[in-house]
Structure 1
Amino acid sequence: MIDNSFIEFWSKKYDDSDVGSDEEDYREILKKVSQEVNQQGTITKSTFFLILNWKAPRVKGIIKNRCFHEYEEGIKKAIEAPDEQKLQILDELYGIGIPIASTILHFIYPSTFPIMDVRVTEVLHHFGYLKAKTRSRSNYVEFRRIILSMSQCFRCTLREIDRALFAYHKIVLGSKLKACTKH
């Protein structure tokens, strides 16, 4: 069961060098995004690539580097759109997908848009909070509702929940899943 104690215990484990240990990078990106969105209404190319590198470095090879203006305009459009349209706008950009789209939104809106990560969804599925582990637009609505509800109920940030679920997966659940697939 996921509760306050679970979040508190596992969130601290995230800082172990073999688990996450990227909090400094996370905070730097959060600060840059906040400054850029407040000043320009979007994010710069360098910050966009910082986000990609932080979330999924392999995606950088898919992104159209020379067409950054398309991503910049898409991000600006998402910022101006109602909440229920933001994810779709970003997901429709070439090479982005739900995990990256939710990460961009999280850095812009850290208290209202959780990052839909494979490890986090697997933990929520494991504990019975999610019916499906698929990271899709349709599943993001339920995923977001669950994470926001936990945040409110446990009085913690989306980042603390993300850190806790990620660490639990990396240390406990990931090992169990690997053991099950070997048989």
Structure 2
Amino acid sequence: MKIFDINQDKLNYEFNYNPEETAKLKKLFLERKENKPLSIDDFRRVALWKYNRVLEISDELLQKLSELGKTVKIDIYDKKVRDIIGELIACKGIGLPLASSILKFLRPDIFPIIDVRAYRAIFGKKIYSTQYTVSIYYKYVKEIYEIKNKLKLPLDKVDEQLYEFDIANNGKI
């Protein structure tokens, strides 16, 4: 490991960490300094940048998600819904757990969050980030809906209860 030596080493590197978002944040904070107060959302954006979780969702997909949120009757197994899930997962910074979280907040009566703990509570094994696919999500959804129907629970409570069940009964991930 090389340690920086102030007497010998030079610092003339180009900073190349999330370059697009870095430029946007610098501009945003400069504008805030000049005429707008800072908001908690500004700091949340910095946190996402720092943790390398910059999200990119197209305006077209945002429109589809807005429409999905307003649609009265949704069939989670509909091809259109499946396509939206696939598009969301394909966005920069969004994997299946985050996509399912977005969808749950959009429509908690339809979409459960897939989570390592809730998944383990149902299937008895840990799921790894490389294993998340749309088909795995639908296998999980089927089980969540079965639990919902058998125990007569609201859908939005099932994944939350399984998460807590796993903490109480299975310990660390």
TM-score, scaled to structure 1: 0.53
* Partner SS for 2:171: helix
Q: Is the 8 A contact 1:132 1:139 kept in 2?
A: no
Equivalent of 1:114 in 99, 112, 115: 112
1:152 corresponds to: 149
Matched, 1:103 2:90: no
**Inter-partner Cα distance in structure 1 for 2:147 and 2:49:** 31
**Which protein has the larger Cα radius of gyration, Structure 1 or Structure 2?**
2
What amino acid sits opposite 2:123 in the alignment? H
What amino acid sits opposite 1:89 in the alignment? E
2:160 corresponds to: 163
2:123 corresponds to: 125
Any idea what the Cα deviations from partners look like across 1:31-58, whole Å, max 9, x if unmatched? Answer: xxxxxxxxxxxxxxx5xx69xx9xxx79
**Inter-partner Cα distance in structure 2 for 1:119 and 1:108:** 22
Alignment of 1:82-93 (within 5 A): 82-93=80-91
Matched, 1:142 2:139: yes
1:76 corresponds to: 63
Task: Give how far 1:59 is off.
Answer: 8.9
**Inter-partner Cα distance in structure 1 for 2:150 and 2:159:** 15
Q: Is the 8 A contact 2:61 2:84 kept in 1?
A: no
TM-score, scaled to structure 2: 0.56
2:38 corresponds to: none
Structure ranking higher in helix proportion: 1
Deviates more, 1:152-161 or 1:105-114: 152-161
Task: Give how far 1:135 is off.
Answer: 2.8
* Partner SS for 1:95: coil
- Unpaired segments ≥5 residues, structure 1: 1-45, 178-183
Task: Give how far 1:118 is off.
Answer: 0.7
Change (3 A) 1:58 1:154: farther
Any idea what the Cα deviations from partners look like across 1:132-157, whole Å, max 9, x if unmatched? Answer: 83432220011111111221222111
Task: Give how far 1:89 is off.
Answer: 1.5
% identical equivalent positions: 24
CA RMSD, 1 decimal: 3.0
Pick 1 or 2: higher relative contact order, CA cutoff 8 A, min separation 6: 1
* Partner SS for 1:99: helix
What amino acid sits opposite 2:61 in the alignment? G
**Inter-partner Cα distance in structure 2 for 1:117 and 1:58:** 23
Deviates more, 1:133-142 or 1:75-84: 75-84
Paired residues, number = 116
Any idea what the Cα deviations from partners look like across 1:61-93, whole Å, max 9, x if unmatched? Answer: 3214xx6xx355423224547222221111011
Deviates more, 1:132-141 or 1:160-169: 132-141
